[in-house]
Chains A and B, each alone.
Chain A
Amino acid sequence: MIDLTINGEERSLDVDGEMPLLWALRDVAKVKGPKFGCGIAACGACTVLVDGAPTRSCVTPMETVEGAQITTVDGLAVGETLHRVQEAWIAEQVAQCGYCQSGQIMSAVALLNEVPNPTDEDIDDAMSGNLCRCGTYPRIRAAIKRAAEQNSAVKPETVEG
């Protein structure tokens, strides 16, 4: 049994310690937000926050996240109220197929937690690990900037992992 907190809920999962967090989330805990894209930390579709840090869950063994706080895209909204990054994504109409977007959004949330007003270079650095085969990058960039503006307009809020 491995104990951890997923989106604020304490869970005990009966899994092999080597099982990647991604598959424990998806197949065992039934949290489907993080997506499987590559399994080798090359695409970012599986990005989640582990104790607040953006992490490729496909290469993160369960034994290393015992007791950790995991936040996935499924846990960003509070009730019906979306996170401002999700709102910005809707305002900019970012998603196409949408498969990469869970990971894109989690990387963006982590970036904005760290750097409230990111430059283009900050965005490049934080987001270039997230592949989008639909090529939504220009809208991702615009959405991050929009969310940053919202950030300075309202009182800062932080998603802790």
Chain B
Amino acid sequence: MGKILRRTFLIGTAAIAGGVAFGAYKVLETPENPLEAKRGSGENPFNPYVTITDNDVVSVYVPRSEMGQGVATTLVALVAEELDVPVERIRTLIAPASDAYFNSTMMHELVPFGHLDRGVLAQSSRAATRAVGKIFGIQATGGSSSTRDAFEPMRRAGAAARETLKLAAAEQFSIAVDRLSTADGAVELPDGTRLTYGSLAQAASALEPPTDIELRDPSTWTVLGKSQPRTDMRAKVTGAPIFGMDVDLPDMLYATIKMNPRLGGPMLSFNAREARKVRGVIDVIDISRDGEPFGGGFAVVAQDTWTAFKAAELVDVEWGEAPYPSTTDAIMEQIGDALDNGSGFHPRNDGDVDTAFADARRDRVIEARYQVPYLAHATMEPMNATALLSADGERLDIWAGTQAPTIALEDCAHEAGVAEENTFVKITYLGGGFGRRVEVDFVRYATRIAKAFPGRPVKTVWSREEDMTHDAYRPAAMSSWRALLGDDGVPVAIDARIACPSIMKSALDRFYPSLFAVGPDSSIAQGAYDQPYSVENYRVSDIIADVAVPVGIWRSVGNSYNGFFQESFIDECAHAAEMDPLDMRLALMKDYPTAQAAIKKVADMARWSAPATPGRAKGMAFTLSFGTWVAQVVEVESRDDGIAITNVWCAADSGRVIDPGICKAQLMSGIVFGLSSALGQAITFEDGMVQETNFDTFDAMRIDQCPDIHIELLENADHMGGMGEPGTPPSIPALANAIFALTGERVRSMPLSDSMDFV
């Protein structure tokens, strides 16, 4: 399928729907197994996930990027459950970039239907995106989708390998296959003889697996549903060189880059005379390309990273203007203007909001306006990638902690002018992702620089300053809300307007510049239009604010700010109606027992209705995101030099829990991530440049600020939800609501540290 076509299909739902009919044949076609190549080296591949050597080494290739969320354990456990090999005996590897590892679930987030919408149109759009994920072979990690997407195929991979091993044994010993069983890495004959998988692997891997394998019933699971020790833990406590930053190849060069701090602006001139004089500097090169959304800049190539960093500071450079207003105030004014005057689309439009408000009594109408700033991802490991273009220019190898290996592969192959089949992307462990490592900038630059040194690997490392000031940021957003309270205090009409730059549009500019986004971007209202609140008249307007600061996917995407907007507003409504925020939510959730159960659970855990400890107060919030229903209560305490966060209680319902230990770790992580943003994070602009350049000005929660976090997992929901992101959205409003309960001050603008001190 040609490049143009491939790209056209990515635009939006309409185009995607068109693609399905066209691409149906492709959907049915199974991509090649990238592990076939391993056969020569002693591994017998059963499918794209499992190989077994003759001497019993069972390997599982994890098709998603491990960035802390535990996929290198949970996805292995899915195979282990069916294969009858203990998780700790499996060799875990990260799979290479390949179309075989497409993620169909992540694409679901592209359809403008909330999780609750299981109607025909919503479901067929989801089916369409599932097909598209496969056609385009997008191997990506995001959208809290990894376990959901792997749940069926990876168990099936384990089961298929198990059944072919039994078939091989049956053939070898002329015994009916149904008289064989498997346990602990071996096939057992009726007389008790054990044939290790290794002894059967060669023969078995050549067989076609039976097509009618039934997956084990959850009631018989012995691995899934239980906490597994993480497969990557030992490497991570011994400092093993598993990250992109740690890649070390013979004859390797080290590079760093400096791009225009006015994001997207050109480099007008540069003079590298002083930089070139530094001992160990090999070259300074212009890496600007016309029309590239990242703007202009240069790279320093040296014998070590520090020399590259140091020399980069000595380059005399003149930067051009940014393509967006030069200060935060001017940018926010632009977003505010879109909010007040822009027209949007309505991902939710129940009843008749205009009529409801036209007839409303003014004293029953509540209004509020909220805003949030841009945020950096600030992954612990700064952006980096290593690239090697062969001396003859025919082959390209990339080592990178990327969340989007096949997009990276395509992008780098194009950059180097190397065929995609001769481009190999090895995915390292990621020192944090949070959405940042979906981007292609760091792999593209590594390739561009390596292209200047054929035959030599070049590792390109960003300084923290470069990383912090050249992100695809969580967009700033503004919203206005009004509600009409009914006689019982519960809103009978809600009208929400949300204005925000479009992530979809910004990302397309970076990934697929030949395209431009058309139509709405449903991520703008994600977390506001799709919540389990029944209100007779309910309208959400999703308004694109046209600001050219690069914005991207940041842990929980639109939910990260809409959770704050909506749940703060619900809290305001409750107080205006003199209702307990718990009762208000229970009333709004009347049609959604799953949501009610989650919020009741968290209220129990937090002893919500018990008298408050003197000097302390609690706030509550709920967000359904990525299919997981999460209710949280945050408790704060007033201390001499500021407010402390003392406790967080969290009840999360993802329908099914595969690994409780890892799920709790993810929720805890999501909560700290959200609270960190609320406490004091903001990316601001002055003269077109990001002002926060390192952790001294863009910090995150530290251990001394971290509350006790109490988590309970529920399994009431009908559909399986994700875990990497849903902990984040409710943490922010629950904190803001707790602060209101403590101080009476309603903070409607993030970060909270602009309005008060924290300890």
Contacts and interface: CB of A to CB of B under 8 A. Distances in A.
Interface of A: 16, 19-20, 23, 26-28, 30, 32-40, 42-43, 45, 72-74, 76-77, 82, 86, 89-90, 93-102, 105, 123-125, 127-128, 130-141
Contacts of A34: 239
A90 B703 CA distance: 19
A134 B232 CA distance: 15
A12 B477 CA distance: 54
B68 A98 contact: yes
14 contacts: A35-B431, A36-B245, A39-B694, A74-B239, A94-B233, A95-B236, A95-B237, A96-B70, A97-B66, A97-B380, A131-B702, A133-B379, A134-B432, A139-B668
B144 to A, nearest CB: 14
Contact of B380 (A45, A93, A123): A45
A140 B704 CA distance: 12
B354 interface: no
B279 interface: yes
A135 B248 contact: no
A72 B379 CA distance: 22
Interface string B399-440: 000000000000000000000000000000111111000000
B378 interface: yes
A76 B238 CA distance: 8
B182 interface: no
4 nearest A-B pairs in the assembled complex, by CB-CB distance: A135-B672, A33-B239, A99-B431, A98-B236
Nearest to A20: B306
A43 B695 contact: yes
B71 to A, nearest CB: 11
Contacts of B230: 93, 95
Contacts of A40: 464, 694-696
A38 B665 contact: no
- Main secondary structure, interface of B, reads loop
Interface string B222-240: 0000010110111111111
A93 B233 contact: yes
Interface in B162-215: none
Nearest to B698: A42
Contacts of A72: 239
Given A95-B233, A97-B68, A133 B380 contact: yes
Contact of B696 (A42, A98, A99): A42
Contact of A138 (B233, B676, B700, B706): B706
Contacts of A39: 309, 463-464, 694
B461 interface: yes
B235 A98 contact: yes
Nearest to B247: A32
Contact of A90 (B234, B245, B306, B307): B234
Contacts of A124: 703-704
B732 to A, nearest CB: 14
A95 B232 contact: yes
B703 A137 contact: yes
Given A32-B246, A39-B463, A139-B665, A132 B380 contact: yes
A30 B246 CA distance: 9
A38 B694 contact: yes
Interface in B242-288: 242-243, 245-246, 248, 254, 279-280
A134 B238 contact: no
B323 interface: no
B234 to A, nearest CB: 7
Contact of B668 (A23, A26, A82, A135): A135
Contact of B381 (A33, A73, A96, A97): A97
Nearest to A45: B380
B25 to A, nearest CB: 40
A73 B213 CA distance: 46
B639 to A, nearest CB: 14
Given A27-B304, A135-B701, A141-B703, A96 B665 contact: yes
A82 B237 contact: yes
A3 to B, nearest CB: 19
Given A93-B230, A138-B709, A30 B700 contact: no
A89 to B, nearest CB: 4
Contact of B669 (A27, A37, A86, A96): A96
Interface in B687-708: 694-696, 699-704, 706, 708
Contacts of A38: 464, 694-695
Contacts of A19: 304, 306-307
A20 B563 CA distance: 43
B484 interface: no
B68 A96 contact: yes
Contacts of A26: 305
A128 B430 CA distance: 23
Given A99-B432, A131-B700, 17 more contacts: A16-B280, A19-B304, A20-B306, A26-B305, A32-B239, A38-B695, A42-B694, A82-B238, A86-B237, A90-B234, A94-B237, A95-B236, A97-B429, A123-B703, A135-B671, A135-B673, A137-B706
A90 B306 CA distance: 33
B381 A99 contact: yes
Nearest to B727: A135
Nearest to B279: A16
Nearest to B379: A133
Residue from the set A93, A101, A105, A136 with the largest chain B CB neighbour count within 10 Å: A93
A27 B694 contact: no
A86 B235 CA distance: 10
B380 A134 contact: yes
A96 B667 CA distance: 12
Nearest to B707: A138
Contacts of B704: 124-125, 127-128
Given A35-B431, A45-B380, A137-B703, A101 B246 contact: no
B69 A96 contact: yes
A37 B380 contact: yes
A94 B382 CA distance: 21
Contacts of A101: 236-237
Most buried by A among B232, B242, B279, B665: B665
A145 to B, nearest CB: 13
A123 B552 CA distance: 36
Name, among B66, B237, B432, B696, the residue most crowded by chain A CB atoms within 10 Å (CB to CB). Answer: B237
